[in-house]
């Protein structure tokens, strides 16, 4: 069964655009959990432009039997109130840490790791995170030559960056990008890695990806899910995604 982790970053974006405490990503997480999702994802960045450091701990305290997934760049140093990804994980003890090579200049994550360049830097960090009890996933491009290296670095899973697939799907022909996702997932599984997927997945393209990669462990969805929830309600939208994954 493929699990659904709901990324609540967009709720924090809306809150921060006005200031104050509303809407609260903690309450959004509670609604998603009550609607049946299997996990909650946050992606705190050093500039705290959406999920803030205090949100990470508040959400951890609100989880009710579902997994917590904290995403972030393990190379980003501590800055101001941001203590660094490793320290955030040490404090919150999520089930999973997803490592992503993003920077402040990126509006959103838009590429995976180059493990030929970064593998040796990642290896001790992965070891530290696993010692904290976390499953570790590395954000990887579909078609990357480095898929197998993720296992060598010590990761438990990869998360396929599905942005190019989603873009191609919206344009009307996702066959090439879908094939790249499938091949990368199969390569990962062949070396003992689990496979997650995320970025720009929605109710239209997710069924296609799920049918093509039946062994997906988890999808992390936020932007599209909360966009759809504006019209249909959060609880209803979460249940629709679950129905897709359970079909």
Termini Cα distance of the chain: 10
Please confirm, yes or no, whether 148 is among the known catalytic residues: no
Sign of the C-alpha dihedral computed for residues 79, 75, 167 and 222 taken in this order: negative
Q: Is 50 a known active-site residue?
A: no
The count of other CB atoms within 10 Å of the CB of residue 57 is: 13
Residue of 71, 159, 177, 218 with catalytic role: 71
Per annotation, catalytic residue among 38, 159, 177, 199: 199
DSSP code for 79 = B
> 78 near 87, Cβ under 8 Å?
yes
Q: Is 38 a catalytic residue?
A: no
User: Would you say 226 and 11 are in contact if contact means Cβ atoms under 8 Å apart?
Assistant: yes
| Residue pointed to by tokens 């010692």 | 131
Distance CA 216, CA 179 (A): 15
Residues belonging to the chain: 247
Retrieve residue 208's tokens.
């296609």
- Beta strands 218-221 and 3-7 are parallel
Distance of alpha carbon 210 from alpha carbon 243, whole angstroms: 12
Residues annotated as catalytic (active site), given as ranges: 43, 71, 199
């Amino acid at each position: 069964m493929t699990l659904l982790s709901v990324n609540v970053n967009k709720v924090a974006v809306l809150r921060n655009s006005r200031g104050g405490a509303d809407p609260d990503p903690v309450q959004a997480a509670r609604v998603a959990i009550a609607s049946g999702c299997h996990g909650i994802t946050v992606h705190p960045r050093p500039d705290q432009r959406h999920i803030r450091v205090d949100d990470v701990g508040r959400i951890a305290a609100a989880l009710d039997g579902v997994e917590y997934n904290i995403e972030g760049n393990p190379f980003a140093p501590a800055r101001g109130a941001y203590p660094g990804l490793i320290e955030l994980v040490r404090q919150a003890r999520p089930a999973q840490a997803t490592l992503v090579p993003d920077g402040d200049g990126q509006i959103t994550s838009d590429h995976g790791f180059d493990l030929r360049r970064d593998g040796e830097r990642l290896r001790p960090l992965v070891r530290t995170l696993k010692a904290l009890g976390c499953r570790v996933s590395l954000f990887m491009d579909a078609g990357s030559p480095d898929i197998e290296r993720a296992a060598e670095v010590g990761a438990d899973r990869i998360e396929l960056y599905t942005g190019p697939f989603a873009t191609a799907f919206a344009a009307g022909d996702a066959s090439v990008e879908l094939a790249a996702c499938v091949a990368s997932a199969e390569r990962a599984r062949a070396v003992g890695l689990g496979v997650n997927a995320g970025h720009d997945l929605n109710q239209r393209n997710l069924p296609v990806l799920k049918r093509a990669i039946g062994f997906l462990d988890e999808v992390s969805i936020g932007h599209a899910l909360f966009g759809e929830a504006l019209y249909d309600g959060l609880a209803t939208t979460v249940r629709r995604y679950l129905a897709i994954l359970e079909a």
